Amino acid sequence: MKLIRRERQDRGAVTRGQGGGTPNLELNRLRQQIDSLFEDPLSIFAPGTSFFEGWTPPVDVFEDKDKYAVRAELPGMKKEDIEVSLDGNTLTISGERTQEEEKKEGETYRAERFFGRFQRSITLPAPVQADKIEASYKDGVLTIRAPKSEEAKPKQIAVKS
């Protein structure tokens, strides 16, 4: 399981000041060090190590003027095993991926796919209309569309002369 961001900032652009830098640069440097913890293949936090037990399916969030769309990659699930709930602005996707019975027999040579429970919570930036949320599951991808509540939609304000 890898977490790869679609857009990556160019880290080389930030000057690596040794102390005495502006607080912002220092903060950037700290951020780089934390990032490297997750990217160094020998680090205990590296993707695929035992530190990350369980499954963190990748999630994307899209926004247009009327709604948010959340996309989660959940290959090989049954529709009934996916649960979606909303609490305030927080959308929670949970479920369990189960292995087929027949797989338990015979020899296993490689087992990289995850089976078991998972849960992801995504806090949406603005309130949504809970009763109008729709979810669909196709090709192993769950797509949830949540219309923004009226007050969260952008409004045009007429300028009076």
Partner 1 sequence: MNATAENQQTTQARAGNGPARGFVTPPANISATENDYVLEVDMPGVDKEGLELTVEGNELTIVGRRKSDLPEGEACYCESPNADYRRLFELGPDVDTSRISAEMSQGVLKLHLPKSEKAKPKHIEVKVT
Chain contacts with partner 1 (rule: CB under 8 A): 1-7, 58-64, 67-69, 71, 73-77, 103, 105-114, 122, 125, 137-141, 143, 145
Of 9 and 15, CB closest to partner 1: 9
How far is residue 134's CA from residue 145's CA, in Å, rounded to a whole number? Answer: 5
Of 25 and 143, CB closest to partner 1: 143
Neighbours of 126 (CB within 10 A): 13
User: What is the phi/psi pair of residue 150, to 5°?
Assistant: -50, -45
Dihedral sign (CA 20, 22, 24, 28):
negative
Of 138 and 155, CB closest to partner 1: 138
Task: Specify the length of the chain in residues.
Answer: 161
User: What is the phi/psi pair of residue 22, to 5°?
Assistant: -70, 155
Smallest separation (angstroms) from partner 1 to the CB of 8: 10
Smallest separation (angstroms) from partner 1 to the CB of 157: 22
Smallest separation (angstroms) from partner 1 to the CB of 143: 6
Of 50 and 108, CB closest to partner 1: 108
The C-alpha angle 99, 102, 108, rounded to 5 degrees, equals 80
Smallest separation (angstroms) from partner 1 to the CB of 137: 7
